[in-house]
Amino acid sequence: MNTIQTWGETISLSFQDLWVRFINFLPSLIGALLVIIIGWIIAAALGRLVAKLLNKLWLDKALRKIRIGEIFEKAGVPFNVSNSLGFLVKWFLIIVSMMAAADILKLSQVTEFLNRVLLYIPNVVIAVIILLVGVLFANFIAQIVEHGVKAAKLETGHFLAGIAKWSIIVFATLAALVQLGIASSLLQILFTGLVAMLAIAGGLAFGLGGRQHAEKVLVNLEKDLRKKSDGHQD
C-alpha cells in the first residue's frame, strides 16, 4: 500500500509540476502567437503597398522598354519586379516577426537560424541586381555589335551579337550565383573552364580562318605573278 501511495503521489506531483510549467509558459506562447499574427498582417499589407507603389511608378514597363524582361519571359519565368520586391518585403518582415516570437519563447537555435536567413536576403537582392545589370549590359553590347557589323556590310551581325549577348548573360549569372554562395568553388572552376574554352575556340577559329584567308591571298598573288610573267613573255 505504501508503495502504491508513493507512486500515486509521485505521479500527482509530476502532473502538478507539468501544469505549473504550462501555466507559466502560456503567456509567452500567447505573446509569441500574437507577434507572429500581427507581424504577418503588417508584412502582407506592406508587401502589397510596395508592389502597388512600384506598379504606379511604371517600374516593370520601364524595364520592359529596355528589354530586360525578354530573357525571363523566353525562359518561361514571369517577369514582375514590383510583385517580386513586394514579396521580398513581406517575407523579410515575416522572418523578423518569427525571430521576435522565437526570442520570446527562448528558442535560441531557431533565432540563430532565422537571423542567418535574414542576413542572406541582401545577397539575394545583390544577386538580382547583378543579373538585371548584366542583362541590360548584354542587350546594349549586342546592339552595338550588330550595328557595327552591319555598318561593315557583313552578314554575321545577328550571330555575333547573339554570342556577345549570351556570353555576358552567362558571366552575370555565374557572378550572381557566386554572390549567393552556391557552390562557389565549383562555379569558379566552371568560370575558368568557360573562359579557357572561349579563348581556345576563338583562337582556333581565328587561326583556321586566318590560314584560309592567307591561302587565298597567296593563290591570288601567284595568279597575278603568272599573268605578269606571261605578259612579259608575249
pLDDT tens figures, 145-161: 777 767 656 566 677 77
Among residues 26, 20, 23, 32, which one has the least CA distance to residue 105? 32
Q: Is residue 47 part of a domain?
A: yes
Q: Is residue 76 part of a domain?
A: yes
Q: Is residue 43 part of a domain?
A: yes
Q: Is residue 123 part of a domain?
A: no
Among residues 90, 100, 92, which one has the least CA distance to residue 36? 100
pLDDT attached to residue 221: 52
In degrees and rounded to multiples of 5, residue 51 shows phi and psi of -60, -45
Q: Is residue 50 part of a domain?
A: yes
**Helix/strand/coil for 234:** coil
Kindly give the residue spans of alpha helices, DSSP state H, lying in the chain.
Answer: 2-56, 59-65, 69-74, 81-104, 108-151, 157-180, 184-233
Question: Which of 168-172, 175-179, 188-192, 196-200 is least confident?
Answer: 196-200
Higher pLDDT, 101 or 188: 101
Spell out the residues 6+ positions from residue 91 whose beta carbon is closer than 8 angstroms to its own: 43, 47
Confidence band for 72, pLDDT divided at 50, 70 and 90: low
Q: Is residue 20 part of a domain?
A: yes
pLDDT tens figures, 101-141: 988 888 888 888 888 888 888 888 888 888 888 878 888 88
Question: Which of 27-41, 163-177, 189-203 is least confident?
Answer: 189-203
Whose cell is 525562359? That residue is 75
Tell me the average pLDDT across 61-67: 61
Distance (Å, whole) CA 40 – CA 37: 5
| Nine-digit cell string for 230 | 606571261
What is the number of other CB atoms lying within 10 angstroms of the CB of residue 144? Answer: 12
Q: Is residue 57 part of a domain?
A: yes
Please tell me which of 55-59, 142-146, 223-227 the model is most confident about, judged by mean pLDDT. 142-146
Cα angle 181-182-183, degrees, rounded to a multiple of 5: 105
Range of the structural domain that residue 93 is part of? 1-106
Give the chain's end-to-end CA distance (angstroms, integer): 142
What distance separates the 2 farthest-apart alpha carbons in the chain? 142
Q: What is the pTM of this model?
A: 0.58
Concatenate the DSSP letters of all residues of 149-179 into one string: HHHTT-S-HHHHHHHHHHHHHHHHHHHHHHH
Q: Is residue 207 part of a domain?
A: no
Distance (Å, whole) CA 60 – CA 81: 6
Domain count, the chain: 1
